[in-house]
Each structure stands twice: as structure tokens, then as C-alpha cells.
Chains A and B, each alone.
Chain A
Amino acid sequence: MKQNNAEMKDGNIVEVEDLYVRFSRDEGILKPINGFSFNIPAGSSIGVVGESGCGKTMTAYSLLRILPRGGQITHGSMRLRRKNGEVVDLAQLDADGEKMRHIRGGDVAMIFQEPMTAFSPVHTLYDQIAEVLEIHSDLSDQDIRKRVVELFDLVGIPDPESRVDAYAFEFSGGMRQRAMIAMALASEPALLIADEPTTALDVTVQAQVLRLIKKMQRKFNIALMLITHDLGVIAHMVDYVYVMYMGEVVEAAPVAELFKNPLHPYTRDLLNSVPKMTGPKQELAHIKGSVPSSAALPPGCMFHPRCTRRVGEVCWTGEPALVEMNKNHYVRCFIHSPETSGMSRHAEETEYDA
């Protein structure tokens, strides 16, 4: 397998370009990711927003090359600048190979949604966190112990010396997620992926955990990719937002710009469905229908079957292009630009062994 040391823009730590992921299943071929592209500048944070089933988690699994059985990257590149400065295309690496294993957990770490089930119930937290250091560092056993205790202290778990030997089920939800954050930070990764890190937590601790993630990101200057369906979470956490629908970007903008001036009907619908704490009481808006199965992608604009602001026939015959409307503000919608993407998204795929 060829190792292309592709060029990267200086400030970026991740550049994903035109990513396609396919799953062969009995019921047909699932198409969760369809030409997704995004960049993460070093030390910055991006948000990936969309409903369940939009391909957000599959994007994270693609970066780590841990797609479930049957999943394949069929097109695109995922360039990563490693901690040692080396630039690699993750899409070209052998998923089970030595190099990818060092990147997984070493250069790229992930925080999962459900900290209860994401930890093994029969191993102590210490056992599971020390493992990261056993794989990715040369520390001695004593130093590993010291480091794990330090990490527990860092993420605000009281009495870290004795708590490291606890099991996940002895912790509260918030403490478990803190332990998960400690595990993700253990190897001092260059990129931290947080997949719905607060969805499973009590509302009262959600803010604490988000604040902790933000604090750690700043402290260690880690690039952060925050995956969420909740636009309310995004506002204070990230610099730049990608709105994802059926595996492609429908709108991308700096976070303040997106909230001030949302252009895509899907983004507007998402914003309207966030409950407001002020103003007159009104029924909570929702987006009609649900995300279709990725086994059969809708023709034309993929959002057109659920869109309330269709402009005409072009919505289901043409595939809109992602167009820059304002500075750094991109949108893929015929309301704003009649431009279609040059090639059909279905024709773009070229098969190769992932």
C-alpha cells in the first residue's frame, strides 16, 4: 500500500477531502458518508452538527479507521499531521497495521457518548487508562501509575490516588465521563474527537463536562472535533461549524456567523428546534420527517424531501454545489446559488481497497 506524504496547508492538523464511506449489508449498500470534506487548524475546535444517522460518528470512526465490519472508505483522503510532524493519509494506511495502531489512541483520541458502557465493567479504570500509556509511551509501571493519578487530578476527580482503582460502575455519570476524558488525554493526542460527550449525562453535569473539555483543549493546545446534534452545545465550544446532512456538508461557517446568519434550510430548522429559555411560550419546532436510510440517497439535493423552502424542480434534479457566500461561510443550497456540483456524487466514487 502506498504511503503518500501528501502536502498539507501549514496551519492544519487534519484535512479531510471528499470522503466516501460504504457498507455492504444484506439489505444493500449503505452510503453514510458522501463526499464529506473538512479541515481542522492546529489548536482550534470544530463542531460537526446533524441529526442521528447523518454520518457524524462514522466520520469519527473513519478517522480512527475503526469502521464496523463491512465498512469501507471508497474514496477520498484524510491527511493528519502527527505529533512528530509526519503527514500521513489515514485513508491509505492499513487499518490493522502498526502505524495506524500508533496513531489510534496516540495521535488521535476519542471521547465516547456513553461512559458507562464505553468502559469495561470488569476492569478497573486504572487498568483501562494505564493501557493507553503502556501502548503509546515508554513509561515505567511506577511512572504510569503517577501519570494516571495526575490525570485524574487534572480532570477534577477527588481523591485520585484511591479512585483510580475503582470500577466504572462505582462512579457517577459525570465522574465516569471525567475518567473518559482523562483516558483520552493520557497520550497527549494531537486531535481529540468528542462524540456526543454529554448526551448521556444529567443536564446538571453537562455544562461542567463541556467546560472541562474546553479547558483541557486550551491547556494542551489540542485540536478538537466535537460531534453533536445539539446546537446549544456548540455555541461556546467551537470556532467553526460543519452542518452535516446525509454524509455531506450542507453549510459551514464560523460559529458566530452561523448563529447570526444561518443560510441552509436544514441549519435553520436545527436552530429552531433548540428550546428557547426566553421570549413567549411557543410550540417547539421540529423538522418534518426523519433522516432517510442511507441505502437509498434521495436524488438532487438530499434534503429536498424534508425541505420547506424548495425553489423548484432543480431541487430534485440537480445536485447543489457548496458555494462560499460570505467570508468562510459556505452553503449548499439552490436558494443561494444556482451552481450545481460538476460531477454527480454517485459517479465520483472510484473503488479501491480500503
Chain B
Amino acid sequence: MFNYIARRILLMIPTLVAISMLIFFLIQLPPGDAITSRLAQLQAEGSEISEEAIAALRARFYLDDPVHVQYLRWVGGFFRGDLGYSVVHEQPVSTLVGDRLGYTMLIAVGSVLFTWVIAFPLGFYSAIRQYSTSDYVFTIFAFLGMATPNFLLALVLMYLGHTYFGISVGGLISPEFMGQPYSFAKLVDLLKHIWIPMVVVGTAGTAGLVRILRANLLDELQKPYVITARAKGLKSLNLIFKYPVRIAINPFISTVGWMLPAIFSGDAIVGVVLNLPTIGPLLLESLMTQDMYLAGSILLIMSALTVFGTLVSDLLLAAIDPRIRYD
């Protein structure tokens, strides 16, 4: 087991190196760079910038260095805690990301909890009452949930929230609380807004997990060890929780793997539609403006979290399932 963990951690190093190269290569691919797109933007607004100023900017961001030197400088910065500098925002990437991290994590953790709390009972009940009316109702909702695009659901919920609950559309905080210090009223206002992104981000995952848990549990309920356990005189609910659920639960553990990157970045499209101060929209914008260090750093952090999250979920799976542990 120790060897397994050590091997997995060592393997993360080449994986991350390869990912960082790929990311840097990809964000260099489009013609032009952050400065040219910034200039185009400024010229469109009618501002004039002198040749010297442009050259100074290019020098400041080392845009004329060879690509591999730029790459090494960027990657080297990570070891010093320097995530680079956003050309467009003219702020360090760490500040931009840090400002938005709190809300991003709040929404992501909230939506994962929402997913688990809703998916477990629905999937469980669907399986032990297969082909009952409730099973069919849950199934219809699960398919609807999986098939509805998140942005559409966001729009519908925004409409409903505005029309029936009088919540200001978009954002996490009503305009009157903007820039105010934290207070109880502000917290209540936040809670009024935050359920919409939580539901939107969580719905597709919930629907998928309901179906997976139902299918897994139905498989497990047929297994001979369930008959053995019944023949021992166990109460049926105790039995289902101790044996088949224990094995059918694996997909819930696996969600931890993609949970970490999701917690960091949030859902970009939903963030844009709902005007959320999360990292997702920031990433989208940085890609469109070719803000290479901002985009690259966000992507690299997400990749690192994906790799790390996968490791965590694999270790958790090994902890609960001896068949994996003894492999």
C-alpha cells in the first residue's frame, strides 16, 4: 500500500510537467499576444499609445524572449509563489484569483453537498422500489436534469427567482450591499442568491449520480452475498446499508476527484450567465483576451487539482474497498 501511494505521487510529477508544457503551448498558439489584443482594444476606444510605451510593455512582460525562456520563467515563478501578472487587469494573477476564490469555493462545495444530499436518497429509493411510481417519477426528473443545459436552467431559475421571490437578477449580493462590511443582513442576502448557482451547478451531477447509484445498487441487490446476509436473520434495512450500499457507494467517492478542480474554478458558463464573481468567468475572459499568464496559471492550478483530486479519490476508494487495496 505504501509503495502504491509513493508510486502514485511520483507519477504526478511528470504528469504535471507535461500538462504545463501543453497549456503554455496552447495559449501561445493563436496569432498575436496579450499586448496586441490590448492595443486593438485601446485603439478601438480611440486612445493613442506611443511606440515606446508599447515596447516598454513588451519588455515588461518579456514577450520578445524565446518561447522556452518564457515558459521556464512562468513555471519557475510557481515555485516562488508567483503566478504571473495579468496584462489586461494589470494586477498579479494571485490577487485576481484570490479575490474570487472564496465565493467560488462556497458555490462549489454547496453544489457538491446539494448533489450528495439529493442524489443518495433518490437513487437509494429508486433501487429498492424498482419500477414503482416514485421510481418512474425520479427517473423522469433525472433524465430531464441530465438533458437540460446548465445555462438554460440558470436562466429559468433567474426568471423564477426574480418573478416570484423578488431577488435581484444575477450576482451573489444585492446592489445595496455592495462594498458594505459583512453583517447578518448581508449574509441573509447572500443565502437568498446563492441557492440558484448551487442548484444549477448541482443538478446535472445529481441526476447522473441518481442513475448511477440506482443501477449499481440494483446490481448489488441481486448478488448472492445479499441472500447470505438475509439468511443470517439481519433486518432488511440494516442489511441493505451494510452490504450492497457499501459497494454501490463508490461513485460518490469518485466525485471527489473532479470536485477539487470544480471547487476552484466553478462553472464558467453558469458564472457568466448569473454574473457570478467566481473564477470560471475570469478564465473565459482571459482566454478571449489572450491574457496568457492569467489563463495559463488558472488552467495549471485546475490541472494540478484534478491530478491531486484523482489521487485523493483513489486513496479513499482503496480505503473502503479491500479488493483495490490488495491488488
Contacts and interface: CB of A to CB of B under 8 A. Distances in A.
A117 B225 contact: yes
A256 interface: no
A102 to B, nearest CB: 6
A112 B227 contact: yes
Given A122-B246, A122-B320, A135-B233, A112 B326 contact: no
A112 B232 CA distance: 12
A104 B230 contact: yes
A114 B227 CA distance: 12
B239 to A, nearest CB: 10
A342 to B, nearest CB: 36
Given A167-B322, A169-B323, A169-B326, A120 B225 contact: yes
Interface in A51-110: 64, 66, 96, 101-106, 109-110
B224 interface: yes
Given A96-B236, A112-B224, A114-B224, A121 B322 contact: yes
A339 interface: no
A109 B323 CA distance: 28
A105 B233 contact: yes
A221 B321 CA distance: 39
B222 to A, nearest CB: 9
Interface in B128-148: none
Contacts of A110: 228, 231
A112 B225 CA distance: 9
A112 B326 CA distance: 25
Interface in B295-327: 320-323, 326
Contacts of A122: 246-247, 320-323
A102 B233 contact: yes
Contact of B232 (A131, A167, A169, A170): A131
Interface string A116-136: 011111110000100110011
Contacts of A101: 233-235
B219 to A, nearest CB: 12
Interface string B144-177: 0000000000000000000000000000000000
Interface in A261-307: none
Contacts of A119: 225, 228
A103 B230 CA distance: 11
B190 interface: no
B234 A117 contact: no
Contacts of A109: 231
B243 interface: yes
Contacts of A169: 323, 326
B229 interface: yes
B273 to A, nearest CB: 42
A224 B8 CA distance: 52
A144 to B, nearest CB: 14
B7 interface: no
Nearest to B322: A167
A121 B227 contact: no
A112 B228 contact: yes
A66 B225 contact: no
B234 A167 contact: no
Nearest to A117: B224
B223 interface: yes
Contacts of B236: 96
B243 A132 contact: no
Contacts of B228: 110, 112, 118-119, 128
A114 B224 CA distance: 8
Nearest to A180: B228
Contacts of B246: 120, 122-123
Interface in A128-186: 128, 131-132, 135-136, 167, 169-170, 183
B151 to A, nearest CB: 40
A121 B326 CA distance: 12
Contacts of B232: 104-105, 131-132, 135, 183
Contacts of B247: 120-122
25 contacts: A101-B234, A101-B235, A104-B230, A104-B232, A104-B233, A105-B233, A110-B228, A112-B227, A112-B228, A117-B223, A117-B224, A118-B225, A120-B243, A120-B247, A121-B322, A122-B322, A123-B242, A123-B246, A131-B234, A132-B232, A135-B234, A136-B233, A167-B326, A169-B326, A170-B326
In the A-B complex, the 7 residue pairs with the smallest Cβ-Cβ separation, listed nearest first, are A105-B233, A105-B232, A104-B233, A117-B224, A101-B233, A120-B225, A118-B228
Given A101-B234, A118-B227, A131-B232, 16 more contacts: A66-B227, A66-B230, A102-B233, A104-B233, A105-B232, A110-B231, A117-B224, A118-B225, A119-B228, A120-B225, A120-B243, A122-B246, A122-B320, A122-B321, A128-B229, A183-B232
